[in-house]
Structure 1
């Protein structure tokens, strides 16, 4: 069994195509993400942990042993960038099947695609380093987070651009997501950070609805598929324009975390240019990036997600920096084509992989969050140095397709 297991890993790693800065770290990051892949179903666990605290002795301790649509999409993006495309095939099949099995799309599912159990506190356990409570299940399961429509459609768009074959069942599912995004962008939700306060219309969520509409229109146009492509294209442009106009706060000189302005900051705004909602060099986006780097700085290249006094999230307790946000800032620096800045910031931000407590990582667990952002950051830095570090093609005859032959129903014809 040991010999067969080792051979299976070597066979999978033959598709590894990255060649650039810190290749051993990228290789290890890919392996870490693959360990979170449920190859039977096609889902990906956010983290194989529950109730690790955001801060020792704190109460922000959550159960992450489930598949978050957003986190899984981030993972397949990262794996695809270093040569592994099969996971995206399986994820799309799994997520559309999961959506089909519930009345409306959920943000979290079990690995088998079922609803997540209700959140309960286990009084019989003291928690890691006495950081109670220990929780099983997750109370965010019933939240509305409108960014998931964009996550799935962006993943599908990248998969189709890489040669995927769109079948009627797949397109029907994507059309339904685009239609939902068309009306959801202006409705309150709890957004990417899963706040437990009253819902608001978050700028990031509106932006990801714009992504859903833009990608659906692009897929339909490119492949000549049926659907209200013109309506989606017009709606995408409308949402993009309203984000720049309505969330802009003239006094704070920044886009705001909420679509109705106010000047409060949220580091997820850094993702808008990365998802092609707003150009990185747009004056209002550039001002927002500068404001986030200054006002949300935790020092040493790290960023807070938001400031709790300015953006109450309905929870008690403290938290530290959120590593993903620092790498979003790295990405934007790369978009501006300055090579030393991104490399320096990436080096500082990656230090916590040896001392995880430095960043007090939350939501997704240290290993999975860091693995995803390490791959993303190294790939974009390599891009700024091209053609010095070209991607290494897989050896002839190798493939990144998953070895398990059981896809979701929506993609069965593709296999």
Structure 2
């Protein structure tokens, strides 16, 4: 089914691009991506947590060691921002405007310094996915007790997300900053649930109930699927995260999840099985994303659709370069081809290798082994 070398290369790309303090470079070859994101890294750490189970002694694996280093890094950054985040929590609770300087950045340098200011920084899904990823590590590794720094960061992140969850922010593609995004709310829902399992005294259930009720009232398209954002009649492939294992908003086989995925496949599945982000996408011409094809494969493993998983994995494997690197997206079947050269001139060639893509490959590979 799978070239063993692509698994091994994916693992090596990830481990080789973990920085000394613990963050993962999103992509080592693109200057704008030479930073570490909570979101990308959380999924990468989850992929390594799963992959470590293949080792004879998982607790001694390089994969689990790497995941712990990432979670340490996140906790250090969050705790280092404690005073600023407390000010944000206070402002939000008093109904005052937020100060961007007192929120969590989306991307950081390895030493904890925030990335340059000219970037869409206010994103809430990243720290939420980190909470979920930490809980997955604790569950899978059977960690006996939380490190004190992790517990402190989890508590602060829960209170921060609970306070600001209704504020418009950038989505996971760093677009549409004035919208409230269903995928972001679903990420917060999952993160809060995961955090409460780790620290039961956090009592996040009321907030999660409110998030679910809001989504069911405001977050559906006219035809009844989950919407990309409140008030929009359209889907986004990032809605696949609504079915995150254990703490996700919807079970993979929930009728609402199934209808949403059906529309994603109808509207966004490209010929050959790559997946577009959304129909308005112009980034690098709006090509199909290898990352998203693999994310769809991950979802298909959750519902036991072995045929679809193999087709999606095969398509992704066919887009690895001679070294085995997997890109962010490819430039065939573009939605807006006139924009391709614009982005190449602005940022260089499509990000390759993208660590998040390699992580999704490892996740999907692990999932098919369980079917």
Q: Is the 8 A contact 1:296 1:305 kept in 2?
A: yes
Give the TM-score of the pair, scaled to structure 2: 0.79
Matches within 5 A, 1:2-401: 21-38=2-19, 40-50=20-30, 63-83=32-52, 84-102=63-81, 103=84, 104-119=103-118, 139-140=119-120, 143-161=121-139, 162-164=141-143, 165-195=145-175, 197-221=176-200, 227-229=201-203, 232-251=204-223, 253-258=224-229, 260-275=230-245, 276-308=248-280, 318-354=285-321, 359-360=330-331, 365-384=352-371
The 3 A distance-change label for structure 1 pair 367 and 173 is closer
Aligned to 1:403: none
Deviations 1:226-267 (A, max 9, x none): x332xx02222331343234211233x321011x24322111
Gaps of 5+ in 1: 1-19, 52-62, 120-138, 222-226, 385-415
Give the 3 Å change call, closer, same or farther, for CA 360–76 of structure 1 in structure 2: farther
Contact 2:330/2:350 (<8 A) preserved: no
**Is the contact made by 1:149 and 1:177 (CA closer than 8 Å) also made in structure 2?**
yes
**For the Cα contact (< 8 Å) 2:38–2:127, is it kept in 1?**
no
Q: Which residue of 2 aligns with 1:58?
A: none
Taking structure 1 as the reference length, the TM-score comes to 0.71
Distance 1:113 1:333, change over 3 A: same
Residue 46 of structure 1 deviates from its aligned partner by 0.8
Residue 10 of structure 2 contacts residue 359 of structure 2 at CA under 8 Å; is this kept in 1?
A: yes
SS in structure 2 at match of 1:255: coil
Gaps in structure 2 of 5+ consecutive residues: 53-62, 85-102, 333-348
Distance across 2 between alignment mates of 1:96 and 1:254: 35
3-state DSSP of counterpart to 1:94: helix
Inter-CA distance 236–99: structure 2 relative to 1 (3 Å threshold) = same
Structure 2 distance, partners of 1:318, 1:200, is 23
Tell me the matched-pair count.
317
Say if 2:289 and 2:330, in contact at 8 Å, map to a contact too: yes
* Deviations 1:184-231, CA, capped at 9 Å, x for gaps: 222100110001x4421000111111112101111123xxxxx332xx
For the 8 Å contact 1:150–1:212, the answer to whether it is kept is yes
The answer to whether the 8 Å contact 1:146/1:209 transfers is yes
Aligned CA distance change for structure 1 residues 172 and 317 (closer, same or farther; 3 Å): closer
**CA RMSD of the aligned region, Å?**
2.4
User: Comparing both structures, which one devotes a greater share of its residues to strand?
Assistant: 1
Alpha carbons 1:324, 1:373 under 8 Å: kept:
yes
Shift of 1:287: 0.8
With over 3 angstroms needed to count, the CA separation of the structure-2 counterparts of 1:327 and 1:244, relative to structure 1, is farther
